Amino acid sequence: MIRNVVVGRLRPGTDLAAVRSALDAIVALPVEGLLDVRVGLNAGLREGAWGFAITSDFVDAAAYRVYDADAEHNRIRRELFDPLCEEIARIQFQT
């Protein structure tokens, strides 16, 4: 299984409703080979934490690669997340 983890550092003054909408769009994507997806806003428990996180579990690396190249997924990243984020970090690892 491949786990994809994404965290985003939000631009100052970002509307959290816009972030929630972007996260909802990720959850709503129909993705073959996706086992689970979890999203959330920072709970504010520690100073300096990033604004949101996404974790997605895929059956294998091939399923992740299809998701990563998906046109709608890339539109969501470009149009919904990029304007909200100063920085986005990603990692994929085998579990």
pTM of the model as a whole? 0.94
The pair of structure tokens assigned to 54 is 């996404």
What is the chain's Cα-based Rg? 13
Q: How confident is the model at residue 28 (pLDDT cuts 50, 70, 90)?
A: very high
pLDDT of residue 94: 97
- Residue ranges in 1-95 assigned as alpha helix (H): 16-28, 61-69, 71-76
Q: How confident is the model at residue 91 (pLDDT cuts 50, 70, 90)?
A: very high
User: Mean per-residue pLDDT for 63-84?
Assistant: 97
C-alpha span between 62 and 33 (Å, rounded): 9
Report the number of distinct structural domains present in the chain. Answer: 1
Whole domain around residue 20: which residue ranges?
2-94
**Residues 9-33: b if buried by 16+ CB within 10 A, e if exposed:** bbeeebeeeebeebbebbeeeebeb
Q: How confident is the model at residue 81 (pLDDT cuts 50, 70, 90)?
A: very high
Instruction: Identify the CATH number of the domain in which residue 65 sits.
Output: 3.30.70.100
